[in-house]
A and B are shown apart, each in its own frame.
Chain A
Amino acid sequence: QVQLKESGPGLVQPSETLSLTCTVSGFSLTSYSVSWVRQPSGKGPEWMGRMWYDGDTAYNSALKSRLSISRDTSKNQVFLKMNSLQTDDTGTYYCTRDAYYFDYWGQGVMVTVSS
């Protein structure tokens, strides 16, 4: 069955870089795209960016200068790196299978930006 699982540190210092990994199973990264979506506590989701099935990327322009998404198809993993973190980057980060709609979601990883 289709599964996605996020992993990474729960606490990041202000101005530091966030690195998250999404490990997928049940589908191929060369057949489906994967998006990263984040959600501040008590607020609506925000789309961050997409790793297309062909290896191309698309980013939310509000984050583009700080964000990088990459993948390793041999390990079924998609990576997110975002630098210069601030306190308003605190929230839950999800990876999702993206078929032009988000049909499968990971459980999410809570990231707190604090010193």
Chain B
Amino acid sequence: DIVMTQGALPNPVPSGESVSITCRSSKSLLYSDGKTYLNWYLQRPGQSPQLLIYWMSTRASGVSDRFSGSGSGTDFTLKISGVEAEDVGVYYCQQGLEFPLTFGSGTKLEIK
């Protein structure tokens, strides 16, 4: 199975500051079609996860442009430019390259 490893944040983060959340996969997620099958989700407290970024860098419909995704085949970053109160929650990366699809253990964001 592909193992997804996420980094931690120095919580709490001051409102307005920019943060980067890291994720590493145990295998390259770059496929022969040119897409990198890495997705990002935010799970706010008490809610279902919501899609933020898919194919490593494509923002999902309705997602603020404060969120951006980047990376290589195995190392990925979700950047939040100017965190706001509504960004609080747990962020998960997930690989969509091969079965079983797997998630990282999550990165918690708290706002000061």
Contact = CB atoms under 8 A, between A and B. Distances in A.
B99 A46 contact: no
Interface residues of A, number: 20
Contact of A47 (B41, B55, B103, B106): B103
B99 to A, nearest CB: 5
B49 A47 contact: no
A11 interface: no
Nearest to B97: A100
A102 interface: yes
Contacts of A62: 100
B60 interface: yes
B23 to A, nearest CB: 12
B39 interface: yes
A91 interface: no
Contacts of B102: 47
Contacts of B94: 45, 101-102
B11 interface: no
Interface string B51-76: 10011000011000000000000000
B105 interface: yes
Interface of B: 37, 39, 41, 48-51, 54-55, 60-61, 92, 94, 96, 99-106
8 contacts: A59-B99, A60-B99, A62-B100, A100-B37, A101-B94, A102-B49, A103-B54, A107-B48
